[in-house]
Amino acid sequence: MITFKKILVVTSTDLIQPSVISQSAKIAQRHQSHVTFFNVIEDLPQEQLKWITALPPQELMANVVAEKQMSLSDSVNKVQGQYPSVDTSIKIGLPFIETTKKVQQDKYDLVLLAAKSERKPRKSFFGSTTVHLMRKCPCPVLTIGNNIDKPIKKIAAAIDVYAPTTEGRKLNEKIVINAANLATQENAELHVIHAWKLPSADYLAAWGNPSEIDRLEIIMKEKQNRNKHINSIIEQVVTSHCKPITALMEGEAQEKIPEYVKDNDIDLIVMGTVCRTGIPGYFIGNTAESILSEVSCSVLTLKPEGFISPVEI
């Protein structure tokens, strides 16, 4: 059983979204987790501060921190009875950097945040803090897609069945294990999905320009092989009573996976965002980022074992 003993909830100080409270409290109660509500205040350049106030910059920022800390504490005090253990923390700096440092310093198992705020459109938010955390934070990142409290009824694990490396194949297993555990805990329907496409026309030409009948036979065999790989992964790692629904989609992953999520009313997608380890700052793949920009459900993103964050403590 995968456990989250320490959870870092990244939030604003004055408004914690109901869905964030509901999901973080549910996970904390299930795992008896300690939860920290965390906010980062972005520092202003000293030259800019001179035009705002006559106070010395350090004194001004100290006043801002004290005000934000009071606001965050007041917000958390209203819901602290829902958590086994809870505290708050405020930092100054860039949100994704300070969040990643906090995770590394205090050994958090999960970062949880809203996919969008009331003040920002979704794509703007996904293009900044959230995507940076998905790229660089060493622990799983759970982004909550809805502002209102909504039960998780359908979970999709998106995998690459022909991952070319050992760490990629292990990441597939990690994705399915996490998705299956969550499906069991939430009594949700589990989907294991994979999008694929045939090699380009140039590659097919190298095989002798196959006829349409030959092409259909290639597609059928490819589907059979990929389906065997999916079933093999499921048989190896899914030990719960839930029987997954499997889906293979021919086409570009960045198009087919969002379509599947929408058409099947998926509430949570579990996926990997980095496919290599040992390279600090190896960025999220274009495919994963394209998928994330098109889905509106909650998303749990995972890193492979051995991932090294480029953010140094």
CATH topology of domain 151-313: Rossmann fold (3.40.50)
Domain locations in the chain as residue ranges:
1-149, 151-313
Query: How many Å apart are CA 271 and CA 302, to the nearest integer?
Result: 6
**Domains 1-149 and 151-313 equal at CATH topology level:** yes
Residue 197, classed as helix, strand or coil, is coil
Query: How many Å apart are CA 301 and CA 243, to the nearest integer?
Result: 22
The letter for the amino acid at 33 is S
Q: Spelled out in words, what is the top-level CATH class assigned to the domain 1-149?
A: alpha beta
List per-residue pLDDT tens for the chain, 313 residues long.
678 999 999 998 888 999 999 999 999 999 999 999 999 998 776 666 666 666 776 787 888 899 999 999 999 999 999 999 999 999 999 999 999 999 999 999 999 999 865 555 444 435 478 888 988 999 999 999 876 678 899 999 999 887 777 888 889 999 999 999 999 989 999 999 999 887 554 455 555 556 666 767 777 888 888 889 899 899 888 876 778 999 999 888 889 999 999 999 999 999 987 655 454 444 345 677 778 788 889 999 998 888 889 998 8
Query: How many Å apart are CA 253 and CA 77, to the nearest integer?
Result: 43
Residues whose CB falls within 8 Å of the CB of residue 70, separated by 6 or more in sequence, listed in order: none
Cβ-defined contacts of 147-150 (< 8 Å, 24+): 147/17, 147/18, 147/19, 147/114, 147/116, 147/118, 148/18, 148/19, 149/18, 149/19, 149/21, 149/22, 150/19, 150/267
Residue pair 26/150 in contact by the 8 Å Cβ criterion: no
